[in-house]
Chain A
Amino acid sequence: MATLTSTIPAKQNIASQIWDALTRPHITITELSERRRATIASALLLALAISFSVLLIILPTLPVIVPVALSFIGYAISRSQHINTGIGLSMFAFVLSIFWQMAIVTDWSSVSALGYMVWMVVPVVLSGLLFPPRITFWLVVALITSIYALRFVVFTNIPAAGFGVAGGFVTMLSAIIALASYLQEFYFLRPQLDEIRRTQRELETKNRALELANAEIKDFSYMIAHDLRSPLVNMTEYVNEIRYSLDTVKPAIEAGMGTLTTEQRSPVQLAVHSDLPESLDYLETSAKRLNNLVGEILRLARVGQRETTQDKVALPALIDAIVKRYPHALTEQSVTIGTLPEQVVADKVIVEEVITNLIDNAVKYAQPGRPLHLDISAETKPDSVVIHIRDNGRGIPTAENSNVFMPFRRASNTNDVEGTGVGLYYVRALVERQGGRIWFTSQPGIGTTFSFSIVNLIAQL
């Protein structure tokens, strides 16, 4: 829904201020063509009400108060959000006046029929331009009502011929109104429809662009998977090849040691027994680390591609299964599981991935020397389920809290543990993918609690 933003013009002369005050549409009218219609309606109805009242005052034989009052009331209502009611009421007033006049002057020879036609056609056509098509119905009702109002309230007796004339005029007027509505459709509805169609086409184009981008990402991930991984595999394999060759060469070197002086011997010993194996080890761990990183990036790239599903996830069983994957770190005594909702409607793969990663982190970043304790609980809220995973691990240094969900960032107290720094970034992407949130609280040296929400679709129905 568009909100109204009004910009106050820098300077406005008196004339435009008055114009503004008299014709500015009601504040809740936000749609552009509606506002246009409201402005034109106000201006026209005011002009017609004034001119009509002037005219009727000049012809003192007519009771002027009722229709003139009605037309001004109609104008006032048209300035509110009920434009159409205002227009309808004003039209009723005009038509009432016209038929009033007609009924008084039943002798057609004394007044130009054309004159009357113009009098009736002008406001009706103009108003017809402003009406939404459904108002046509109300206008016809107004016409018929005004005829009967005349008949029963003001005059006891209208000649039959007069009725026939009135009926003829009603038919003609209806035709004019229908024509006016058609014209109105042209100037107001068509542009709106065109606008809608244009927006739709834009959306389609954007959608296609997004699909293409998605396909490109898929190809990119594929490229990562193959082209980056292949040399990494080679690296690990050739490290082992070098180790193998080294082992082949060692006996010969050992045998030849005897021919070297003590001075010559120690660098050779160092190279063969210390430096070479160490270099190979570091080469290998670097390749493995790179491989893990590639794996995580690939996982991350896949998060946005897979459609989330709505599964019935049996939470207690799932958490139990995950905990059982760490039989050494998480014994029965070291895990407390609170009351969990039996079932939650969410993407099972995502929920499993998130909980697995969080528990894995708790195990990895336990405080060295302190037995790990996990406390898993859940909170059921009206439209979501929040799961808390609390550990008594090493905690997260307070100054580094903002880095927790950033990619490739690890806390300064994690140097003893392997990790790529992508895990929580990945977890957050997963949680947010199905509309949830993830947050944490931590006390360094004491422990951390990670909490995430699952939007529970069952509760929402």
Chain B
Amino acid sequence: MTLRTIVIIEDDPAHARIIERMLSRLGLQNPLLRCATGNEALQLLESLVNNSSTAMAKQYALLIDINLPGLNGFQVMEKLDANTALTGIPRIIISTSDEPYDVRQSEKFAHLAYLIKPLDYARIVELIKGLDA
């Protein structure tokens, strides 16, 4: 079985690169894709949609940064949830903010975890491996 692709939706290339480095260093072998904006990610995912939605949910996982230019992370999740093919894709929210406002906003969307930077990469690896256990 092919490993699911992890899409990292993060506008800061420095940070996206560190995530990639740390995940692979910790032994994660899943293919990693990078999107710099919410729109880019949505376009990418929409173009990859097959007929069956469960396939998407099993083929992909998302790391979504809240602070994105244009559509922020929450708005991206809103749009994903509006698409039955995409809503099932598991996602991990990453953010610099521990503001209660943001945490509350995140509760409106199904997600595996709300992680604050600097990220606990081991935890991310654990969560992703757990998806296909």
CB 8 Å contact bits of B112-131 with A (1 = contact, 0 = none): 00000110000000000000
Q: What is the interface size of chain B, counting residues whose CB is below 8 A from a CB of the partner? A: 12
Whether A237 contacts B99 by the Cβ 8 Å rule is no
Using known A-B contacts A233-B117, A233-B118, A236-B118, determine if residue A222 contacts B99 with beta carbons closer than 8 Å: yes
Chain A: interface secondary structure?
A: helix
Partner among B12, B14, B97, B118 whose Cβ is within 8 Å of the Cβ of A225 = B97
| Cα distance, A231 to B15, chains bound together (Å) | 8
CB of A241 within 8 A of chain B? yes
CB 8 Å contact bits of A226-246 with B (1 = contact, 0 = none): 110111011011100100000
CB of B21 within 8 A of chain A? yes
Whether A234 contacts B15 by the Cβ 8 Å rule is yes
Interface size class for chain A?
10 to 19
| Cα distance, A238 to B117, chains bound together (Å) | 13
Whether A225 contacts B18 by the Cβ 8 Å rule is no
CB under 8 Å from chain B, chain A span 193-234 = 222, 225-227, 229-231, 233-234
CB distance from B27 to the nearest CB of A (A): 15
Chain B: interface secondary structure?
A: loop
Partner among A222, A227, A229, A238 whose Cβ is within 8 Å of the Cβ of B18 = A238
| Cα distance, A235 to B22, chains bound together (Å) | 15
Chain A positions within 8 Å of B15 at CB level: 230, 233-234, 237
Whether B99 contacts A225 by the Cβ 8 Å rule is yes
Shortest Cβ distance from A225 into B: residue: B97
Shortest Cβ distance from B118 into A: residue: A233
| Cα distance, A231 to B12, chains bound together (Å) | 9
Whether B97 contacts A226 by the Cβ 8 Å rule is yes
Whether A233 contacts B21 by the Cβ 8 Å rule is no
Whether B118 contacts A238 by the Cβ 8 Å rule is no
Count of A-B contacts judged by CB separation below 8 Å: 35
Shortest Cβ distance from B13 into A: residue: A234
CB distance from B102 to the nearest CB of A (A): 9
Chain A positions within 8 Å of B14 at CB level: 231, 234, 238
Whether B96 contacts A234 by the Cβ 8 Å rule is no
Whether B18 contacts A237 by the Cβ 8 Å rule is yes
Whether A233 contacts B99 by the Cβ 8 Å rule is no
| Cα distance, A229 to B117, chains bound together (Å) | 9
CB distance from B97 to the nearest CB of A (A): 6
CB under 8 Å from chain B, chain A span 312-333 = none
Whether B21 contacts A225 by the Cβ 8 Å rule is no
Whether B21 contacts A230 by the Cβ 8 Å rule is no
CB of B39 within 8 A of chain A? no
CB distance from B61 to the nearest CB of A (A): 22
Partner among A222, A226, A227, A237 whose Cβ is within 8 Å of the Cβ of B118 = A237
CB of B67 within 8 A of chain A? yes
Shortest Cβ distance from B14 into A: residue: A234
Whether A229 contacts B118 by the Cβ 8 Å rule is no
Chain A positions within 8 Å of B95 at CB level: 226
CB under 8 Å from chain B, chain A span 222-275 = 222, 225-227, 229-231, 233-234, 236-238, 241
- 10 A-B pairs with CB atoms under 8 Å apart are A222-B97, A225-B97, A226-B67, A226-B96, A230-B117, A233-B118, A234-B12, A237-B18, A241-B18, A241-B21
Q: Give me the interface of B with A, judged by CB distance under 8 Å.
A: 12, 14-15, 18, 21, 67, 95-97, 99, 117-118
- Given A222-B99, A230-B12, A234-B12: 20 more A-B contacts, CB < 8 Å: A222-B97, A225-B96, A225-B97, A226-B96, A226-B97, A227-B67, A229-B96, A230-B15, A230-B96, A231-B12, A231-B14, A233-B15, A233-B117, A233-B118, A234-B14, A234-B15, A234-B18, A237-B118, A238-B14, A241-B21
